[in-house]
């Protein structure tokens, strides 16, 4: 009897184990390759439609089913948000929920009063130029404390404590025109005026955003979120 023969089962098991390890590694690599983020929208119009459609689902209380745990590993490989939101810091407004989107879909910058700051502008430039966002929405909302505080300060010339006064100073150019308009609901007019002012600022922000807007690579829009219904109205 061949003295090598008794060793064959061990060799067979060893080969099977090595093959199994190789197969597992291959599957792992395939998984990583498949996990790379993909672009959800190829054009600004398509990106805006994703936001509008998602908000309609949210308002109807019919959001897409989500498995948040399934996407965590893939999101660790990178991000490819299709839209950026310049939103208010108000705790009642959650962009990912309002537009029925997954983590990784929206690049969100938030500050009380949803106005453009130097840091916020740099973040939005990074989102558009590096991450490839196709649309930026300036998202205001009704009953905005920051807007109401600015309206009150402009009307009564009162001083606000701490750095809250800095918020009012920064928001004054966007809110002040609403005070010169006639009609009811001054606070809502101020919310809309503030959104539109900051949309224009982003559209004209050089050198990055203005150039991308001019080339049709990026769209900047404004929206107002209604706290009671969840509906976002473009303005």
Q: What is the pLDDT of residues 160-181, one digit of tens each?
A: 899 999 999 999 999 999 999 8
Q: State what percent of residues in the chain have pLDDT above 90.
A: 74
Report the C-alpha gap between 188 and 149 in whole angstroms.
Answer: 13
Distance of CA 74 to the CA centre of its chain: 18
Q: What is the pLDDT of residues 66-117, one digit of tens each?
A: 888 878 888 899 999 999 999 999 999 999 999 999 999 999 999 999 999 9
Q: Are 30 and 65 within one domain?
A: no
CATH number of 52's domain = 3.40.1050.10
* Residue 127 pLDDT level (bands cut at 50, 70, 90): very high
- Among 43-52, 60-69, 89-98, whose mean pLDDT is lowest? 60-69
Nearest 5°: the CA angle 115, 122, 143 is: 15
Q: Are 49 and 138 within one domain?
A: yes
Q: Are 117 and 162 within one domain?
A: yes
pTM given for the model: 0.83
> 5: which DSSP letter?
G
* Residue 39 pLDDT level (bands cut at 50, 70, 90): low
Q: Are 69 and 48 within one domain?
A: yes
- For 55, the token pair is 């908000």
Q: Are 41 and 31 within one domain?
A: no
Give the count of beta carbons closer than 10 Å to the beta carbon of residue 49: 13
Q: Are 65 and 138 within one domain?
A: yes
Q: Are 29 and 52 within one domain?
A: no
Which domain covers residue 12, as residue numbers? 1-35
Q: Are 10 and 101 within one domain?
A: no
Tally of structural domains, the chain: 2
Q: Are 162 and 227 within one domain?
A: yes
Q: Are 12 and 48 within one domain?
A: no
Higher pLDDT, 19 or 123: 123
How high is the mean pLDDT of the chain?
86
Q: Are 138 and 202 in contact (CB under 8 A)?
A: yes
Q: Are 114 and 140 within one domain?
A: yes
Q: Are 46 and 13 within one domain?
A: no
> 87: which DSSP letter?
E
Q: Which residues touch 14 (CB under 8 Å, ≥6 apart)? A: none
């Amino acid at each position: 009897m061949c003295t090598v023969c008794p060793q064959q089962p061990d060799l067979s098991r060893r080969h099977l184990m090595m093959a199994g390890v190789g197969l597992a590694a291959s599957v792992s690599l395939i998984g990583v390759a498949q996990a790379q983020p993909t672009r959800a929208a190829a054009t600004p119009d398509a990106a805006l439609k994703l936001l509008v459609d998602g908000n309609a689902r949210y308002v109807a209380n019919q959001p897409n089913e989500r498995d948040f745990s399934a996407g965590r590993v893939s999101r660790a490989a990178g991000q490819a948000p299709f839209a950026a939101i310049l939103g208010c810091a108000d705790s009642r407004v959650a962009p990912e929920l309002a537009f029925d989107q997954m983590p990784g879909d929206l690049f969100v910058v938030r500050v009380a009063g949803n106005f453009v700051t130097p840091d916020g502008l740099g973040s939005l430039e990074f989102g558009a130029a590096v991450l490839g966002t196709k649309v930026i929405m300036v998202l205001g909302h009704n009953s905005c404390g920051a807007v109401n505080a600015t309206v009150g300060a402009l009307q009564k010339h009162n001083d606000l404590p701490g750095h809250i006064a800095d918020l009012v100073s920064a928001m004054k150019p966007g809110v002040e025109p609403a005070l010169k308009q006639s009609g009811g609901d001054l606070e809502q007019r101020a919310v809309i005026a503030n959104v539109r002012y900051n949309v224009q600022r982003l559209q004209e922000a050089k050198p990055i955003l203005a150039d991308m807007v001019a080339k049709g690579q990026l769209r900047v829009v404004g929206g107002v979120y209604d706290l009671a219904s969840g509906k976002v109205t473009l303005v």
